[in-house]
Structure 1
Amino acid sequence: MLADRKIPFSESKEEEWEILKQKTEGGIELMLEDSQRWFLATTEGDGIRITSAEKNVRPLMVREPPLIEFDEFQRVAGVYNEAFFGGIGDLSGRLEAHNSSPNMRYLFMLIYYLI
């Protein structure tokens, strides 16, 4: 499913970050494809807080709700298109982003659904 949307990111990715913060301002529930469980993303200050879904019947249990900040978003957005549209030789960037971003799966869903 995720491989059908290539995102034309801006150079700095600040525009896309602001779009995500606007769309999550009142809170939005999204599903993680790998577990079919739902999480709630809400703008909090300069970041986006991830918590367990409140309205959906299959919430993901988020024990320590992370606050995603711009630098983490920028790292993940930098490899988003390559992760789906690059060849097998392009996996090193995705692996590096995965190792440095514990919230990569949430960010992939936010990017896919909201940008």
Structure 2
Amino acid sequence: MLSNRSSQAITSATISVCGQSYVLSGIPKGEFAAIRYVVTRDSHYDVLVTLQSGKTLKSEIGYVTNGSNFVDVIQVTDAKITHMSREVPAIQRTVQEARERTRASFFHGAAVIRAC
């Protein structure tokens, strides 16, 4: 998600990640736009933003890892582009927690598991 926290509209933004490029335009100040992409390999974000005044900002930020599912928030201000946060969707957190519990139960219960 690209969050516009600058004092002006974003006239265009290009986000490149994992060899894929996405162009967004017309993002008012205080608003956001989102893209959805497939993580095909480990990568980072190349972000190029043009503000309404014509000022351009460019940044290489964040990282993505193949096999992950998440929502990244990229914030644009008048001065810079930053990777603000990453959120793992609730369903993925639930699956990860279940795997961790299963793994913990398996290791804690290993002494009582016997082959018949």
**Structures share a fold, TM > 0.5?**
no
Tell me the TM-score range normalised by the shorter chain.
under 0.3
Structure having the larger proportion of residues in helix:
1
TM-score (norm 2): 0.25
Structure having the larger proportion of residues in strand:
2
TM-score (norm 1): 0.25
